[in-house]
Amino acid sequence: MALKSTIYKAELQIADMDRHYYADHALTIARHPSETDERMMVRLVAFALSAGERLEFCKGLSDTDEPDLWQKDLTGAIETWIEVGQPDERRIAKASARAGEVIVIAYGGRTSDVWWQGLRGKIERFGNVRVLSLAEGVGDALARLAQRSMRLQVTVQEGSAWISSAEADPVAMEWEVLKAGKAR
C-alpha cells in the first residue's frame, strides 16, 4: 500500500515591502511521504518570496512535469516556474523553455555548493533562470517551524526576509544569488 501525503495547514501573513505586496494566505500543503520538513518549509518560503494571487503549489515530487510552484496567466501560460532543491540541467532547460521566469531555490549547504559547481556552466545560457542558495542552517531552522497547523508571518525588506511564529524565534532567511535571471 502506497503511503499518502501528510496535510499541513498554514496561515501565512506576508508583508513584502520590496514588492509592495501585503496579503494573507490560507495554504494547504501536501507533504509527500519522501519529503522532509526542511524541504516542505523551503517550498513555503518560496511561496512567500514570490507570492501573488495566482501562485500555487503543484504536484512537485509526485509529477515530473510540474514544478514545486507555478504561476500561470489567465490564458494558462506559465509565467513563473519555481523549483526547490537541486534540479538537474534537463529539468531547468525544460522549465526555461516553458516559463517566462524560472526560480531555483537550493538549500543544503555544502551539497548545494557541489551541485552548483557542476551545473553553473551548463545553465548560463538560460537568461530567464534565477538561482538562489539558502545560507547554511536556514533550512534546519525552517524545519523547526513546521507544525501540522501553522500561523506564520513573513517580512521582506531591502532584500532581506524573516519568518516567524508565536511558538518559535524568528528565522532570518539569508540567501546568495548564484545566478541572476530576467523574466522573458
pLDDT digits (tens, 9 = 90+) for 27-72: 999 998 889 999 999 999 999 999 999 999 997 666 678 999 999 9
Beta bridge partners of 175: 134
CA angle 109–113–115, rounded 5-degree value: 115
pTM: 0.93
Residue with cell 501585503: 22
| Structural domains present in the chain | 11-170 (3.10.640.10)
Looking only at the bridges linking them, the beta strands covering 160-165 and 149-157 are antiparallel
Q: Give the Cβ contact number of residue 124 at 10 Å.
A: 10
- What is the Cα–Cα distance from 47 to 54, expressed in whole angstroms? 11
pLDDT at 169 over 90: no
pLDDT for position 158: 93
DSSP-based three-state secondary structure for 102: strand
Asked if 100 and 79 touch (Cβ cutoff 8 Å), the reply is yes
